[in-house]
Amino acid sequence: MHELSLCHAIAGVVKPHAAGRHVDVVRVQVGALRQVVPETLSFCWTLVREHEDMADAELELELVAARVRCRGCGEQSEIESRWSVACPKCQNPDVEVVAGEEFLVTSVDVSP
């Protein structure tokens, strides 16, 4: 499962950051183009956090909409479909993705 390996990756970032302190909240930005199912990611996190010795660390997801800049008409727009990346204005597939590919830990709350 894709989400499970992502959760292991999150834990791999969080653990050295926490350096033995208690982890309260982990915030993760997830772009729409990452094809991550938020519910599945949250579920996998409950498995991984047990295993990684931070059993009550909450995972907060910030979902980022996909945006593209069209090389044809120059418009920048949000795209609805995660399956076809093309300009919604002129259907040009020659676009530059400007947002939606994020997958990163933005902050971690720890307590002693």
Choice from 1, 55, 65, 90 touching Zn ion (CB under 5 A) = 90
Per rule CB under 5 A, count of chain residues that contact Zn ion? 7
In DSSP terms, 27 is beta-bridged to 60, 107
Is 7 a binding residue for Zn ion by CB under 5 A? The answer is no
Distance of CA 36 to the CA centre of its chain: 7
Q: Are 3 and 44 in contact (CB under 8 A)?
A: yes
Q: Of 23-82, which residues contact Zn ion (CB under 5 A)? A: 70, 72-73
In the complex, the smallest distance separating the C-beta of residue 88 from Zn ion, rounded to whole angstroms, is 8
20: exposed, middle or buried (Cβ count in 10 Å: 0-12, 13-18, 19+): exposed
Site residues, Zn ion (CB under 5 A): 70, 72-73, 87, 89-90, 92
